[in-house]
Each structure stands twice: as C-alpha cells, then as structure tokens.
Amino acid sequence: MSDSHLQGQFETRAIHAGQAPDPQTGAVMTPVYMTSTYAQTAPGKPIAGYEYSRTHNPTRTALEINLASLEGGRHGLCFSSGLAATNALLDRLVPGDKVVAANDLYGGTYRIFTKVFERYGIEFVFVNSANLDEVRDAVDARTRYVYIETPTNPLLRLTDIRACAEIAHKGGALLVVDNTFATPYLQRPLEMGADVVLHSLTKYLGGHSDVVAGALIVNDTALRDELAFFQNSVGGTPGPMDCFLVMRGTKTLAIRMDRHSENALAIAQFLEGHAAVDRVHYPGLPTHPQYDLCKRQMKTGGGMVSFELKGGVEAGNRLASSTKIFTLAESLGGVESLIETPPSMTHASIPAAVRHAAGLQDGLVRLSVGIEHIDDLIADLDRVL
C-alpha cells in the first residue's frame, strides 16, 4: 500500500520515512490527496487498496508511517485531534473496566475521562504516577490501562516509564504514555516498555500552531487492528491537508527541539535566579527533584517551563497580560513563545480542590518557550518581572 519504514538516524527518518518521491510524478513532497473516494477495477477491487478516506488516505498513510518510524514503533494511527486519539483508546473498554491515570494530566484528558467515559461505567482512579507505590497499589485485575504523561502538564513532573511498564504488565494492563511534551526526539516510550504512545500532533510535531491532530503509535498488530476499527467506526480522522502540515513539521522536529530545549533551560535558569520568582518547574534543572530520571529517560528537559511568582495569582496574571513576545494563549509547542496561567485557562476544567490536591497552585504560570532569540525572550520576561 505504500513504502515501508526507512532506516537511518532520527533526523533522516523524520524527513524521509513514509515519504519517498511520488512514483507517478516524481514530486518530492508527498501529495495532498484531496479525495474522499477511490476508483475500483471491479466491485471490491480497489486499485491500490484505498476505498474511502475515513478508512485510509495516502497522505495520512505517509504520516502514520513517519510517526511510527520516529517513535521506533511498528504502527501509527492518526486522528483529528489528540483527544480523538484518547477517545479511540477508551472505545476499547467496556463497563467495569478500570484506568489508573496520573493525577497531573492535560485538562481535556481529565475531562474526557470523568465527564464522558465515566458515564459508561468505566472507572478512573487518579494517582501520583511519580510515586510508583501509588501506581502499584491502584492496579488490579480490572485495570486495562495505566495512563500517564511524562513530563506532566503543567507541573513538569516525570514518571519512570520502564518501572511503570513493569507494574502495568504485572497487572495485565497496558501502559499508555502521552508523549506530547517530550516528542520522540527527546523520549521514546515504546523502547522503554510502553505499549501505546499518544500524541497531540497539534503541539511540537506540527510545531507551527496551524493544525489540530492526534496519533497513537503501537507495536502490537492485533491492538493496531482493534484501534483502526474504532478509528474508522467512530470517524475522528484528520484530513489530508492536516496530515501534510504535520509532516512538514516533523521534518524539522530535531532542530526545533534542540532550540526549544536550549532556550527553555536558559529561561529556567534565569527565573530560578530572579528575586520575584518563588519556584521553577523544569526537569532539565539540576534542582528538579527528578533531574536524574530526566537524564536517564530524556535527551533534554524539553521546551516547557512553569513557575510560581512570590506575588501569587495577581503577579502571575500581570506577567501573563504584559509580555510582548510571549503571546498570552493556550496550547504549546509552536515556534513562537506562549505564556498562560493553567488554573484559569488550560486546566480550568479541573475542579479547584482536585487541582490543589495535585499541587497545582492558583498562581502557576506556564511558558511554551519558542525558538526566538534567547536574549529577546529573557528581556521580555525581565522587563515585567
């Protein structure tokens, strides 16, 4: 149906895997196959295996191969958003099943768990996944998934993927890792024992804040087939233009992540040394409580930084409303720097009591550090602080 995985280093695969020149025209860039349907030579005999674009589309196939290659996995599946990817995973569950989830997840993930799938008789138990004993105690015979983010959003806590995979497998569950914050350039969960990697492609993989999409990457072919059944049956699939935009993004992922990480580390160090700042959360700082795990599990600390100001909520709001280069906006992972206050923006759907119990203070400020010049970024923060 299309070319297989390409060998080579990450940077090479990012540009070429799934994306050989078009055999018909020689086009170097994968064509955007703007078609809903495909000609057949006889009833039930499509020319190249493609029948209908909810089920398959060649531009989407190219992206699915590309993402699988980058994560070191066998199969990729793309969705119309990160949450549509989460939805497909949850569609496999039946009433009485249980998910053990990290208590520091993306707000929308918490919402689909508690407001959508809990109504169907699926139980969600939230634990601090950085504490492996809590995970171990929560996993039982009904547990189908251990579902984690590492680093977490927005507190940048890490979970030991290898250890978590062992705990999940011992209980007969699958380990799902939302790898949106790290990207496969910094961290490859499947290579550490995870069963499913989930992405919001909207973030670093797209990388330019111009597309919403999601993906799942797995090794197990039976699991891939089951997820593909729900992908097609529910229909939350991305259009070919969206897939093209994400592929354009993955080509530069490595150099973007290097610069995002370099800038984020410099900003974390700047904030840590600033008198107006109370606490900085960045896994690439030696003062981060899980710095050793970061060095073991990730290539760098990534591009996200969060912090609390001594002036609390008011100071945080003032900073977020006054920066000139950092744009006040939700989302993350684009080339441009963004600033936001999670409790009133990205994480507003989590009840205050639940947020506080997870250590998310009302005054928290989150930065998605872009790839602008570091001097301009620091000057922008320094001026307001």
Shortest Cβ distance from residue 302 to ligand PLP (Å)? 12
- Token duo for residue 257: 């992540």
Q: Is the dihedral of CA 184, 288, 139, 95 positive or negative?
A: negative
Looking only at the bridges linking them, the beta strands covering 327-328 and 338-340 are parallel
Name beta bridge partners: 77.
Answer: 216
Shortest Cβ distance from residue 385 to ligand PLP (Å)? 26
Q: Which is nearer to ligand PLP, 61 or 81 (CB)?
A: 81
Shortest Cβ distance from residue 214 to ligand PLP (Å)? 5
Q: By CB under 6 A, is residue 64 in contact with ligand PLP?
A: no
Q: By CB under 6 A, is residue 109 in contact with ligand PLP?
A: yes
d(C-alpha 259, C-alpha 85), whole Å: 28
d(C-alpha 164, C-alpha 147), whole Å: 10
Element (DSSP H or E) covering residue 66: helix 58-71
Q: Which stretch binds ligand PLP (CB under 6 A): 14-22, 66-74, 80-88, 317-325?
A: 80-88
Annotated catalytic, 54? yes
Give the residue closest to ligand PLP by C-beta. 82
Instruction: Please give the biggest Cα pair distance in the chain.
Output: 74
155-182 CB burial, b ≥16 within 10 A, e <16: bbbbbbbeebbebbeebebbbbbbbbbb
Q: Which is nearer to ligand PLP, 17 or 304 (CB)?
A: 304
- DSSP characters for 20-37? PPPTTT--SSPP----SB
Q: By CB under 6 A, is residue 17 in contact with ligand PLP?
A: no
Annotated catalytic, 145? no
Shortest Cβ distance from residue 198 to ligand PLP (Å)? 7
Q: By CB under 6 A, is residue 106 in contact with ligand PLP?
A: yes
Q: How many CB atoms lie within 10 A of CB 133?
A: 10
Q: Which is nearer to ligand PLP, 79 or 326 (CB)?
A: 79
Q: Is the dihedral of CA 122, 349, 160, 126 positive or negative?
A: negative
> x/- binding map, residues 110-149, to ligand PLP, per CB under 6 A?
---------------------------------------x
Q: Which of residues 214-233 bind ligand PLP (CB under 6 A)?
A: 214
Q: Which is nearer to ligand PLP, 53 or 183 (CB)?
A: 183
Do residues 181 and 153 make contact, with C-beta atoms less than 8 angstroms apart?
yes
> x/- binding map, residues 143-182, to ligand PLP, per CB under 6 A?
------x---x------------------------x-xx-
Judged by CB under 6 A, the residue of 83, 165, 253, 257 near ligand PLP is: 83
Judged by CB under 6 A, the residue of 60, 75, 203, 347 near ligand PLP is: 203
Q: By CB under 6 A, is residue 82 in contact with ligand PLP?
A: yes
List the catalytic residue out of 13, 98, 144, 203.
203
Q: By CB under 6 A, is residue 212 in contact with ligand PLP?
A: yes
Q: How many CB atoms lie within 10 A of CB 357?
A: 12
Q: Which is nearer to ligand PLP, 106 or 326 (CB)?
A: 106
Q: By CB under 6 A, is residue 368 in contact with ligand PLP?
A: no
- DSSP characters for 273-339? T-TTEEEEE-TTSTTSTTHHHHHHH-SS--SEEEEEETTHHHHHHHHHHH-SSSEE-S---SSS-EE
280-316 CB burial, b ≥16 within 10 A, e <16: bbbbbbeebebbebbeebbbbbbbbbbbbbebebebb
Annotated catalytic, 144? no
Which residues, 6+ apart, have CB-to-CB distance to 292 below 8 Å? none
Annotated catalytic, 170? no
* Residue numbers annotated as active site: 54, 106, 178, 203
Binding site for ligand PLP (CB under 6 A): 81-83, 106, 108-109, 149, 153, 178, 180-181, 200, 202-203, 212, 214
